[in-house]
Amino acid sequence: MSERDVVLEVEDLKVEFDTYGGIVHAVRGVSFQVRQGETLAIVGESGCGKSVTMQSIMGLIPMPPGRITSGTAMYRGQDLIRNKYLGGRDIRGSAIGMVFQDPMTSLNPTMTIGDQIAETLQVHRGFSKSQALARAVELIAMVRIPDAAKRASQYPFEFSGGMLQRSMIAMSLACEPSILIADEPTTALDVTIQAQILDLLMDLQKEKGMAIVLITHDLGVVARMADDVMVMYAGEIVESGTIDDVFYRGAHPYTMGLRAAMPSRELGARQRLTPIDGSPPDLFSPPSGCGYFARCPQAMRMCQAQHPYLMSVGTAHHSRCWLQHPDSTRQVPGLSIPHLGSVPVQS
Amino acid sequence: MLRYILKRLLHGLITVWFIATATFIAMHAVPGDPLSGEKAMTPEIRRNLEAKYGLDKPVVEQYRIFLVNMAQGDFGISYTQQNREVNDILREGFPVSATLGILAIVFAALGGVLLGALTATYRNRLPDVVIMFLVILGISVPSFVFAALGQLALVKINAWTGFTLFPVAGWGTVMHMVVPSLVLGLGTMAYLTRLMRSSMLEVTNTDYVRTARSKGLPPARIFLKHQLRNAILPVVTVLGPAIAAITTGGFVVELVFAIPGLGRYFVQAVQQLDYTVIMGTTVFYGAFLVLMVIIVDIVYGLIDPRVRLKA
């Protein structure tokens, strides 16, 4: 892991939601750092709390029913959970930009694309309307949409999905933020467009030097983009480290389960994939032991009783698994084996 | 946009022709005719009168004459009122009715949008609960009840304070117009409030409003530029039918407040089977409504680019 400056440091973030069924503990004590110019990928299945984590930092979860019960998110010495204004200006849209999953519904249908991009500049930079519009045209050209001047005066329904996502990126980068949060930016797009969008993001990152927090459940996207990876499960980080650590030296059974569930060229097209049996625990009453206990092929007795903490398994590589405890006598199968040949393939 | 407007105008013209034809058929299907109200009339006099008014001609021929005259803007002469052209009646009564109706619509639309947005903002809190209770009342109570109650309240208030700010009945000054148009617009306003509330709640939870928040826009800007404009679309759609509801409801309110609008003539004409007045007022009213609906459509196109550019 490199020694670059930390731009965002999140400490012990906990988020709950009141529902008719009770309190959902969506995020249960998450801590991580985002470094300048690097990409942090947050992966995990639906409902694991990855989007809620970033949205609560951005103040986008509806409150009520949502509630941030503990935690800090330090940006330039200021806690964003408590105060979103830095020097009288909202950090959202200026210092931190955000791109969402579905570009078709994430843009205002009754405003032109140009106006929507220009708006950010008017609000945060004090640009005049015409200045901001001129800059918006440049930004549209920057995200490689041809005929930018004409496109700026068009409405979202006149754009394709890929172009809308490019516009979203242009909009979120308008004020040159130091962090870009991309919440499943390619999930709603088809595969060729996905690749273009990811390339665009990487090129822009090289050019502007911003940090990217990439939320996704697509490990292929992670492999392409990320420097660091954070695997979330049931509202907690279960493993974190560099991309090589997590992909090739996976130290948590859940990470390995995810890898085994992913199609790979080696296994061939006719090979069945290995799903992870069962479903995530009920977050109304999270289990007292390990959240993955019920589904884990390596589960031990103590996993049910004792909640594992994040254990160091290498330089900046952590795993929330009792198997990694110094006193554990068991070996983690699949460790150091890139393609997980040792995990039995179910038929 | 121009093509869109022309298309709508053509549709409107066809609609007016339908209204005219339907009214004509309905009139002639009703038993009796304008002369049947007259006292003891010898068959000879009756024949003479029929010949004079063209009532002895075949119905198809009458229909043709009616259409040709109407196309030239001539609705004929009243059967029952001496020397009164239908056009005179329209010229006299319509501006009054239209003023009342338009005021009521403006009041209903502004009130509905504001109250709807307010209740959505204070969802499930006191202002929402109180307003939504009143809305149910406004929707379920017919306008003639409000008219009578409003008038009674005015009488009491004027008697108690000793001077008349809002007159109890009649027409002429702005003060005469306030209470009747409020009463007339009340039901529609209640309906629009409900519509606006649900639309606003829907828009508040959309992805693009979340995007707007993620851009760090001030709440007032998010409300005006991202929520209100999108939430207002369904309200604009129902404004057309709402105008129809208000203008027809206007007849009753005109009677209660003794307003010299078209309503009075219309009701009288129906009772006396005054063919020309009925058809004249109906067709004219119909054309007015169609025009209002077209204007609503054009406004809708201005607000929603998807309608404007795809049509």
Q: Which of A106, A117, A181 to mutate to test the interface with B (most CBs of B within 10 A)?
A: A106
| Chain B: residue whose CA lies nearest to A110 | B304
Interface check A91 vs B, CB under 8 A = yes
Q: Does A100 touch chain B (CB under 8 A)?
A: yes
| Interface test with chain B among A110, A127, A169, A180, by most B beta carbons within 10 Å | A110
Q: What is the mean pLDDT of residues A172-199?
A: 87
Which of B156, B224, B142, B154 has the alpha carbon at shortest distance from B187?
B142
Those residues whose C-beta lies under 8 Å from the C-beta of residue A312, and which sit 6 or more positions away, are A318
A114: in domain: yes
Let me know if residue A147 belongs to a domain: yes
| Chain B CB within 8 Å of residue A299 CB | no
Whether B230 sits inside 8 A of A109 (CB atoms) is: yes
Nearest chain B Cα distance for residue A271, angstroms: 39
Q: How would you label A250-281 residue by residue, b for 16+ Cβ within 10 Å and e otherwise? A: bbbbbbbbbbbeeeeeebeeeeeebebeeebb
Residue A342 above 70 pLDDT?
no
**Both ends of chain B: CA-CA distance in Å?**
8
- Fold for domain B89-279? MetI-like fold (1.10.3720)
In this prediction, residues A11-17 reach a mean pLDDT of 91
pLDDT band at A300 (very low <50, low <70, confident <90, very high): confident
Give the chain A residue whose CA is nearest to the CA of B217. A123
Higher pLDDT, A60 or B36: A60
* Residue-level pLDDT, tens digit, chain B, 311 residues: 788 788 888 989 999 999 999 988 888 888 777 776 666 677 787 787 777 777 788 888 888 888 888 888 888 888 777 678 888 888 888 888 888 888 999 999 999 999 999 998 888 889 899 999 999 999 898 888 988 898 888 888 888 887 877 887 778 788 888 888 999 999 999 999 999 999 999 998 899 999 998 998 888 889 988 999 899 988 988 888 788 778 777 888 888 888 888 887 888 888 877 888 888 888 888 888 888 888 888 888 888 888 776 65
List CB contacts (< 8 A) between A93 and chain B: 214-217
Give the distance from residue B201's alpha carbon to the nearest chain A alpha carbon, in angstroms: 13
**Structural domain includes residue A89:** no
Query: Which position has the token pair 């009677």?
Result: B255
Please check the confidence at residue A333 and state whether its pLDDT lies above 70: no
Please indicate whether, in this complex, the C-beta atoms of B305 and A110 are within 8 angstroms of each other: yes
User: Does some domain include residue A123?
Assistant: yes
Tell whether A82 is covered by a domain: no
Whether the predicted pLDDT of A339 surpasses 70: no
Q: Comparing A205 with B76, which gets the higher pLDDT?
A: A205
Interface list for chain B against chain A, based on CB atoms closer than 8 Å:
206-208, 210-218, 221, 225-226, 229-230, 303-306, 309
Interface membership of A153 toward B (CB under 8 Å):
no
Q: What is the pLDDT of residue A347?
A: 35
A222-233 pLDDT, tens digit per residue, is: 888 889 999 998
Domain assignment of residue A142, given as a range: 103-174
Of A215, A217, A303, A219, nearest to A253 by C-alpha is A303
pLDDT digits (tens, 9 = 90+) for A19-46: 888 888 888 888 998 988 899 999 988 8
Arithmetic mean of pLDDT, A244-254:
85
For the CA atoms of B181, B185, B189, B192, the dihedral, rounded to the nearest 10 degrees, stands at -130
Interface A-B, measured as beta-carbon pairs within 8 A, has a size of 80
When pLDDT is averaged across residues A163-186 and rounded to a whole number, the result is 90
Which residues from A are below 8 Å from B214, CB to CB? 58, 60, 92-93, 97-98, 100, 172
In a domain, A109, yes or no: yes
- Average model confidence (pLDDT) for chain A? 84
Contact call for A111 and B216, based on CB within 8 A: no
Q: Evaluate if residue A330 carries a pLDDT over 80.
A: no
Measure the CA–CA gap between A247 and A340, rounded to whole angstroms: 10
Interchain contact A110–B (C-beta under 8 A):
yes
A111 touches chain B (CB under 8 A): yes
Q: Cβ A58–B309 below 8 Å, yes or no?
A: no
Q: How confident is the model at residue A267 (pLDDT cuts 50, 70, 90)?
A: low
Return the percentage of chain A with pLDDT > 70, whole number: 92
Closest CA of chain A from B306, distance in Å: 7
Q: How far apart are CA A137 and CA A171, in angstroms?
A: 11
In a domain, A125, yes or no: yes
CA distance linking residue A255 with residue A252, whole number of Å: 5
Give how far A104 is from chain B: nearest CA, Å. 9
The percent of residues in chain A predicted with pLDDT above 90, rounded, is 20
* ipTM, 2 dp: 0.83
Q: What's the Cα-to-Cα distance from B116 to each of A64, A185, B105, B128, B189, rounded to whole Å?
A: 21, 34, 16, 9, 10
Q: Do A108 and B211 count as a contact with CB atoms less than 8 A apart? A: yes
- Contact list, B206 vs chain A (CB under 8 Å): 105
Count of the separate structural domains present in chain A: 1
Listed in sequence order, the residues at least 6 apart from B298 whose beta carbon sits closer than 8 Å to its beta carbon are B4, B5, B8
Give the number of other Cβ atoms within 10 Å of residue B160's Cβ. Answer: 7
Nearest CA in chain B to A107: B208
pTM of the model: 0.78
Confidence check: pLDDT of A151 > 80: yes
Taking contacts as CB-CB distances below 8 angstroms, the residues of chain A near B123 are none
Tokens representing residue B205 in the block:
């939870």
Cβ distance of B214 and A58 shorter than 8 Å: yes
Domain range list for chain B: 89-279
Q: What is the mean pLDDT of residues A151-169?
A: 90
Q: Does any CB of chain B come closer than 8 Å to the CB of residue A250?
A: no
- What pLDDT sits at residue A266? 67
Tell me if A169 is assigned to some domain.
yes
Say which residue, A336 or A207, is predicted with more confidence.
Answer: A207
A121 three-state secondary structure: helix
What is the structure's pLDDT at A293?
Answer: 82
The shortest CB-CB distance from A157 to any of B215, B230, B306 is to B306
Pull the structure tokens for residue A296: 């884990």
pLDDT tops 80 at residue A139: yes
Chain A CB contacts of B224 below 8 Å: none
What's the pLDDT at B135? 92
Q: Inter-chain contact A93–B226, Cβ cutoff 8 Å?
A: no
Cβ A119–B217 below 8 Å, yes or no?
Answer: yes
Q: H helices of chain B, where?
A: 2-29, 43-53, 59-71, 86-121, 126-140, 143-161, 174-204, 207-214, 219-221, 229-256, 262-271, 275-303, 305-310
Closest by Cβ to B214, choosing from A93, A111, A158: A93
Both tokens assigned to A141: 């050209």
pLDDT band (50, 70, 90) for residue A1: very low
Q: For residues A76-100, give the mean pLDDT.
A: 84
Look at A155 and B213 and tell me if their CB atoms are within 8 Å.
Answer: no
Chain A residues in contact with B210 by the CB 8 A cut-off are 60, 100, 106
